[in-house]
Chain A
């Protein structure tokens, strides 16, 4: 796969101001996504994965704000673009599928008109026949009946609405689609169909997809590379096969060790303790209070994200030392 970077996030920080202090929801996160790649962001509730997406796309609302960093997309820093420039990028270059987006369709507008609005905003006035033709092509290629376009959202099942949203995100052939928990709350059969649809979009139009989900099994099924977040930081990034076969960070191992599979019956181990309060994260490694391998240094010094082999990065003192020794 090419080593090009479609988007690169550098030391991004996104905080929320609250009365009891600043919540450092995303605290110095760096990674990149390659063209045509499906890049997964995993982590449990409150680890900052949704805030990360909002901050990258500059959709974070107060009391949230960006406290630093860069998001380089096609040579430009998205965080520095004017609002207008940014708007012209949406849908056309970057599409965003927010959490529970199936409930975000306008209830009083036919689906066709909602998609037509997106096309017209970016491409100006286009004859209705051409728009209808494009919507029909989009629906046919994504396994939806063209008749769906004439309907109102409430006439469709939840799973069907989510499929419409995902098809819609691809209407202008964007380079990047950011999908936040696109299958949560849907049944497994529909979930599988939606993941298949995301793969089809990548294969047909070559978009990169950033897939945010807490569900490690879903990550295992579809992503190429995976980043694992814990308490506002990325703890590990690697090819998905490597991460599952040989997780490096103790948190990643624990996460994988805690999920049941219908292919294998083994005693699952839960993780002790709870994630930290992000207003007052512990000093040193944020995972150290729950880590079975914690040493003295982990309580004091924050481990940097270091490269430990091809395309594999991890933030853990277990590996920093090895580097030093070698």
Chain B
């Protein structure tokens, strides 16, 4: 059974108090995260793609408009108190901003020991303290250097490591990490990504890594799901998708990633739309229709379904639908 299964997940937000118009932030999204083996799955997309809303839906922060989030086959909105508590323990979250995720009045010790006691994982203060020390060591921090400090006395990289340590303490099956390294300098970013690797390899923790940065996604993940304006455009093993993208949008996206090697510069020109308005319009057909170099008349009519084209590889594009021809 899957640890998490997302089925036709949809979230619409009203566009204003006096209008019935809505913005579909997440549009019939389906995918699953198996319990075993542990995997790092990236949910990638540009701003406005719906990746963060999807994460918030999975975490139960917001209620879907339609569709379901299943945890071990059970709808998370139908869990009893006990089930919910268990869910909150198994599925942890780490966020982008390692500054705002802390209570500024709590020392690091409390940040780490409170959840241990709340979830009954430590019976005494001493035990909780020892577990916290061990978790800090696992994320590459020296407990004597950070315990007893307030959040403002720590750097962004240290705070993000502490958030990982905190998540780790609860022995989760899955950590949902929303842009955990985007506010951290490049030289420190690598060590945070390497901690994620270690969690997976040594401790069997899976990740849903949410990012706009496909270079880090390629580096750490096993699988990737690429969203655009609320829909999944393509998903599959990360090497296949990045090295040989199929969807025209995903191709454009990947060709636009800067390569840190001056001998491999962009050779071709890209053409951006001559006007791009801030107002979002709902479209009937494929969401990439207006920008797609390979668009066909049918693409304006309906959104292509996400279909499996190879083992584990899914694409939402009529170019790959046999029945389209």
Residues of A that sit less than 8 Å from B by CB: 44-45, 143-145, 147-148, 154-160, 163, 187-193, 195-196, 214-218, 220-222, 240-241, 244-245, 254-256, 258-263, 265, 267-271, 274
Contacts and interface: CB of A to CB of B under 8 A. Distances in A.
B257 A157 contact: no
Given A143-B274, A160-B276, A271-B190, 6 more contacts: A144-B275, A216-B186, A221-B258, A244-B262, A263-B259, A274-B157
Contacts of A255: 186-187
Interface residues of B, number: 46
A269 B189 CA distance: 9
Contacts of A157: 276-278
A196 B266 CA distance: 9
A110 to B, nearest CB: 14
Contacts of B263: 241, 245
A220 B47 contact: no
Nearest to A264: B261
Given A244-B261, A260-B219, A265-B218, A221 B266 contact: yes
B324 interface: no
B242 to A, nearest CB: 5
Interface in B238-288: 242, 252-266, 269-272, 274-279
B208 to A, nearest CB: 19
A163 B275 contact: no
Nearest to B239: A265
Contacts of B192: 270
Given A187-B46, A191-B258, A262-B259, A196 B186 contact: no
B214 interface: yes
Interface in B156-202: 157, 185-194
B103 interface: no
B194 to A, nearest CB: 7
B278 A259 contact: no
A270 B189 contact: yes
Nearest to A242: B262
Interface in B76-122: none
A39 to B, nearest CB: 14
A163 B212 CA distance: 20
Interface in B199-219: 212, 214-216, 218-219
Binding site secondary structure of chain A: helix
A262 B215 contact: yes
Given A260-B218, A261-B215, A269-B190, A220 B278 contact: no
B155 interface: yes
Contact of A216 (B191, B260, B275): B260
Nearest to A159: B276
A259 B186 contact: yes
Given A160-B276, A216-B260, A260-B219, A44 B186 contact: yes
Nearest to A239: B262
A201 B242 CA distance: 31
Contacts of B186: 44, 214, 216, 255, 258-259
B260 A196 contact: no
6 contacts: A148-B275, A188-B214, A192-B270, A221-B266, A240-B262, A262-B215
A261 B277 contact: no
A156 B276 contact: yes
Contacts of B278: 154-158, 160
Given A163-B272, A188-B253, A189-B252, A259 B193 contact: no
Contacts of B258: 188, 191-192, 195, 215, 217-218, 220-221
Nearest to B249: A189
Given A189-B272, A268-B193, A262 B187 contact: no
A214 B185 contact: yes
Given A221-B265, A258-B187, A268-B193, A189 B259 contact: no
Contacts of B242: 262
Nearest to B188: A270
A263 B256 contact: no
Contacts of B252: 189
B46 to A, nearest CB: 4
A217 to B, nearest CB: 4
Given A187-B47, A240-B262, A271-B188, A262 B254 contact: yes
B256 A189 contact: yes
B217 to A, nearest CB: 9
A145 B260 contact: no
Contacts of A269: 190
Contacts of B219: 260, 265, 268
A203 to B, nearest CB: 12
Contact of B194 (A144, A145, A160, A268): A268
A216 B262 CA distance: 10
Nearest to A185: B47
Nearest to A262: B218
Contact of A261 (B193, B260, B269, B274): B260
Nearest to B46: A187
A263 B261 contact: yes
B187 A271 contact: yes
B182 to A, nearest CB: 10
Given A214-B185, A262-B242, A188 B260 contact: no
Given A155-B278, A262-B242, A268-B190, A193 B270 contact: yes
Given A188-B257, A189-B270, A263 B264 contact: yes
A220 B277 contact: no
Contact of A193 (B193, B262, B272): B272
Cβ-closest 7 pairs across A and B: A270-B191, A217-B258, A145-B274, A271-B187, A268-B190, A270-B190, A187-B46
